Amino acid sequence: QLELVQSAGGLAQPGGSLRLSCAASPEFLLGTYEIGWFRLAPGQEPEGIACTLQGPYSTKYVDSVKGRFTISRDDAKNAVYLQMDALTPEDTAIYSCAAGWTPVPSSCSLHKGRYSYWGRGTQVTVSS
């Protein structure tokens, strides 16, 4: 089974930045998978916030993070990243990466049902 290993999260002040990483063991080529980033805030429902298809050209973001968060891949490191800029306290949550595979998707999905493999999650806290 594909194992996704996430970096530690962190603490940032409002307006600050953090970068999360999600890596796979070398027997799995993460660049061939659809990737999603999800977050779970206290008292809230899980939310898909960003996703990307295989290759560098297709991405999708939920409105609340659009323009602030960027999802990217580094095939040489067999990893994907979530760059988070202009952080706000509302971004405080547990963040998880996920991987899935769907034949010829028209776009990546922010719905959990598309993903079969999940990282363990990491805490991101934004506070002054």
- pLDDT at site 58: 85
Distance between CA atoms of residues 85 and 43, nearest Å: 23
- pLDDT at site 101: 87
pLDDT above 70 (res 84): yes
Distance between CA atoms of residues 95 and 34, nearest Å: 17
What is the pLDDT of the chain when averaged over all its residues? 94
SS3 29: coil
Measured CA to CA in angstroms, residue 45 lies from 17, 38, 40, 48, 124 at distances of 24, 11, 6, 10, 16
- pLDDT at site 103: 77
Query: Closest by alpha carbon to 83, among 119, 52, 46, 115?
Result: 52
SS3 115: coil
Residue 82: both structure tokens together: 């979530």
pLDDT in tens, 27-82: 999 988 999 999 999 999 999 999 999 765 689 999 999 999 999 999 899 999 99
Mean of pLDDT values over 111-116: 95
pLDDT above 90 (res 5): yes
